[in-house]
Amino acid sequence: MTQPHLSQKHLSLLAGGVGGAKFTYGVMRALPDPASLTVIVNVGDDFEHFGLKICPDLDTVCYTLAGLENPATGWGRRGESWRVMEAVAVLGGPDWFRLGDLDLATHLERTRRLRAGQPLHEIAAAFCKAWGVKARVLPVTNESVPTVVLTDEGELAFQEYFVRRRWQPRVRGFRFAGAENARPAPGVLESLRTADAVLIAPSNPFVSIDPILAIPGVREAIAGKPVAAVSPIVGGEAVKGPAAKMFRELGYEPSAAAVAEHYRGLVSHFVLDEADADQAAAVRQIVPHVLVTDTLMTDATKRVELARTVLSWLEREP
Ligand code: FO1
3-state SS track over the chain = CCCCCHHHCCEEEEECHHHHHHHHHHHHHHCCCHHHEEEEECCCCCEEECCEEECHHHHHHHHHHHCCECCCCCCCECCCCCHHHHHHHHCCCCCCCCCCHHHHHHHHHHHHHHHCCCCHHHHHHHHHHHHCCCCEEEECECCCCCEEEEECCEEEEHHHHHHHCCCCCCEEEEEECCHHHCCECCCHHHHHHHCCEEEECCCCHHHHHHHHHCCCCHHHHHCCCCEEEECCEECCEECCCCHHHHHHHCCCCCCHHHHHHHCCCCCCEEEEEHHHHHHHHHHHCCCCEEEEECCCCCCHHHHHHHHHHHHHHHHHCC
pLDDT the model gives residue 137: 98
User: Which of 75, 77, 82, when mutated, tests ligand 1's pocket best, judged by the most ligand atoms within 8 Å of its CB?
Assistant: 75
CA distance 133 to 146: 26
CA-proximal residue: ligand 1, atom 16 (nearest)? 75
- Which tens digit of pLDDT belongs to each residue from 90-140? 999 999 999 999 999 999 999 999 999 999 999 999 999 999 999 999 999
CA-proximal residue: ligand 1, atom 1 (nearest)? 163
CATH architecture of 6-316: 3-Layer(aba) Sandwich (3.40)
Cβ < 6 A, ligand 1 pocket: 17, 45, 54, 56-57, 59-60, 75-76, 97-99, 103, 159, 162-163
CA-proximal residue: ligand 1, atom 2 (nearest)? 163
CB 84 within 8 A of CB 101: yes
User: Which of 163, 165, 168, when mutated, tests ligand 1's pocket best, judged by the most ligand atoms within 8 Å of its CB?
Assistant: 163
CA-proximal residue: ligand 1, atom 13 (nearest)? 56
Model confidence at 8, in pLDDT bands (50, 70, 90)?
low
CA distance 293 to 273: 5
Question: What's the gap in Å between 285 CA and the centre of ligand 1?
Answer: 36
CA-proximal residue: ligand 1, atom 9 (nearest)? 98
Nearest-atom number in ligand 1 for the CA of 55 is: 13
pLDDT the model gives residue 9: 83
Question: What's the gap in Å between 224 CA and the centre of ligand 1?
Answer: 34
pLDDT the model gives residue 6: 67
Question: What's the gap in Å between 56 CA and the centre of ligand 1?
Answer: 6
Question: What's the gap in Å between 97 CA and the centre of ligand 1?
Answer: 7
Question: What's the gap in Å between 17 CA and the centre of ligand 1?
Answer: 9
- Which tens digit of pLDDT belongs to each residue from 177-201? 999 999 999 999 999 999 999 999 9
pLDDT the model gives residue 2: 42
Among 156, 179, 180, 183, smallest CA distance to 167 is for 156
CA distance 112 to 110: 5
CA-proximal residue: ligand 1, atom 21 (nearest)? 56
